[in-house]
Structure 1
């Protein structure tokens, strides 16, 4: 059977192991069921996730116009410390920004390739950790808006990384860390206006991914260059499909591509 649709990040279910789903307009794929099957992936077009038009994807699944104009791609998305909705100040669309920014946010530690600090909406826990391929994570503070989470992340990343090494994450080149100890050590660096939001009682969350074989030398697939790829699926971690020839396909970074997928 041929599945066709616009790529968006895989939806997930926090089970043991994590369950993954690709949702197209008229097709639905439980990706875990494709493990150990050969899959053809073919790029057949592009479609902006915002305007829905057949335009070249610029970044984050958006065409160039939407990336620079739509609120879904505002700078505060990647840099939460730039959020201004709590001040009633508009970036691109104040109503949208209030809806997203003025809700509970979590600052957390996650261990995917190394211990890193990050920010996510409370409603996105543990989805955010799954998407990053973290095998363990812990919350630090819960704040009422994105701005407070952003300034906390800025302060803490002076003392801990805010980046993930995707190759090490996919190779499973990681070690268990005492995130409670990390959290305790970093508490002193939380900004004064955020200290009261520190979560006192917290334990680590552990995540297990459906991977049967980790790549030794991960090589990223580029459908914009090669258009077609065929390989045996041997794992899913983060937002990556892992194939037996060490090729890996980042679904999230290919959002907006129209693809045909044929498992057999």
Structure 2
């Protein structure tokens, strides 16, 4: 578990990631993909955002992801479509790159482009938000995105920006986080200023495997999020004890 590792337990907790491990597939794949398909069909404007200047980067991201999935072995490729491991056939639409990506893999994707002294969120497919809302964050720099987070002070903001500036193509990085939630829902948006509920019990552990990748052509930084939710009863006792020590 990430919180048991001294490196990942401290913010920002970044570690190197092998390029072939950037996209991650687990036993929740089929269920998560059904949910993603439904959200994209019924709530597209909520889970998808794209500013015009990021369109080329989103196409590049789709190309990079398809190249990686071709080596996966569990995806079946045709000329204009891909069949997922759950046997669902997805048309490949380069005019809707993020929509296509959102239906191919479990990851959410957020694309940042450099602008001035910071990187700015320019596009995203976000089916599984964890207490934030895409429409509020799109177009903001990193400092504005994290404004409501108490731990994101000036020192941490500077460290994160240096990280975004330094990341190189072909050398992705990753970190993880974990929080307790009242329920297992993956789609949990919350607007800034909206009070976080304080339930008597929070028996679900939600963890995000977050990766950073530099696209070689557009130089955009891609922030990918793979979400896992389990009941605390499924977590090993020693791991749960370590988590509660960090989050009393």
On whether the aligned pair clears a TM of 0.5, the verdict is no
TM-score range, shorter chain: under 0.3
Q: TM-score with structure 1 length normalisation?
A: 0.25
More strand, by proportion: 1
If asked which structure has higher relative contact order (CA below 8 Å, sep 6+), I would say 1
